[in-house]
Amino acid sequence: MDNGSVDGSVDYVRKNFPWVKVIQHPGNLAFAEGYNRAIEKVEADYVVLLNSDAEVLNPSWVERLLDIATKDSTVVAVACKMVRWKVLPVR
């Protein structure tokens, strides 16, 4: 999902990863609204929300979450433990 970026990242993704479907918003809708609108357009059993500034510490994190989600039909959401947070300077 692109939430109104102006850094050329959409063109980069389209050029280098043509199989990726980019859901592009006309402007920055903020975190929740941007994701909510994108999720409405996704046709999948599961959706992963991962910000571009996230650091993945365990390469099998998706498999582990899917394992939990698929074992119990009453589970509607799974999440990782946040173990570190970098505060960015306010611009």
Question: So where are the chain's domains?
Answer: 2-51
SS3 14: helix
**Which segments of the chain are extended strands (E)?**
2-3, 24-25
Does pTM top 0.85 for this prediction?
A: no
Q: What's the pLDDT band for 64 if we cut at 50, 70, 90?
A: very high
Give the tokens for residue 82: 């946040």
Per-residue pLDDT at 77 exceeds 70? yes
Q: Quick one: how far is CA 73 from the chain centroid?
A: 23
**How far apart, in whole angstroms, are the C-alpha atoms of residue 25 and residue 42?**
14
Q: What is the mean pLDDT of the chain?
A: 87
